Amino acid sequence: MRKIAPILLSCMLGFGFLLPSKQTEAATYSPAKVVKTAKHYIGTPYKWGGTTPSGFDCSGFVKYTYKKNGKTLPRTAAAMYTKGKKVSKSKLKPGDLVFFHTYTRGVSHVAIYIGHNQVIHSVSQGVKIDSLNNPYWKPRYIGAKRL
């Protein structure tokens, strides 16, 4: 028994690296990689409720993109708005989440800020880049969050 205990302890410690951890998630997350991943899906068609590259809705696109980069987000834009820290529009950085109201009061659309006053998101025309000064999006801006 005395010989087995150190072996078991060594095995338990040695296999600890196989378990998921918050450190692993944080270590793999990079806002720059999120933006790069998002741009890869430009042109992907819009699909209500879509969560895969065969078709995305806005929150499905954001959730999928962040998941590919080590961050798990809730499914809806409104639920995503409850995460992270508020960021003023003037302090936006690539990878921040940007929120809008569209068909209803409150948060109903989410996009990823990519820099230079632009966001990438899934809209009726599919995944595309738009300016925050776009006449449709500018008056619908609600706020932004940094994860």
pLDDT above 50: residue 47: yes
CATH number for the domain spanning 103: value is 3.90.1720.10
Kindly state whether residue 123 falls inside one of the protein's structural domains.
yes
Kindly state whether residue 115 falls inside one of the protein's structural domains.
yes
Q: Give 6's Cβ-side CA count (13 Å radius).
A: 2
pLDDT tens, position by position, 91-136: 999 999 999 999 888 999 999 999 999 999 999 999 999 999 999 9
Give the residue from 141, 29, 25, 28 showing the smallest Cα distance to 87.
Answer: 141
Kindly state whether residue 37 falls inside one of the protein's structural domains.
yes
What total of structural domains would you count in the chain? 1
Kindly state whether residue 118 falls inside one of the protein's structural domains.
yes
Give the residue from 105, 134, 99, 142 showing the smallest Cα distance to 117.
Answer: 134
What is the mean predicted confidence (pLDDT) over 11-35?
Answer: 59
Give the residue from 64, 19, 68, 21 showing the smallest Cα distance to 44.
Answer: 64
Backbone angles phi, psi at 26, to 5 degrees: -65, -35
Q: How far apart are CA 98 and CA 113, in angstroms?
A: 6
Q: How far apart are CA 77 and CA 97, in angstroms?
A: 10
Kindly state whether residue 4 falls inside one of the protein's structural domains.
no
pTM of this prediction? Answer: 0.82
CA dist 123 to 25, 30, 61, 118, 130, Å?
Answer: 28, 24, 10, 14, 10
Active site residues: 58, 109, 121
pLDDT tens, position by position, 7-17: 434 444 444 44
Query: What range defines the domain where residue 62 resides?
Result: 21-146
Q: How far apart are CA 49 and CA 30, in angstroms?
A: 26
Kindly state whether residue 7 falls inside one of the protein's structural domains.
no
Q: How far apart are CA 122 and CA 112, in angstroms?
A: 10
Kindly state whether residue 89 falls inside one of the protein's structural domains.
yes
CA dist 95 to 40, 68, 103, 113, 114, Å?
Answer: 15, 13, 24, 5, 6
Kindly state whether residue 66 falls inside one of the protein's structural domains.
yes
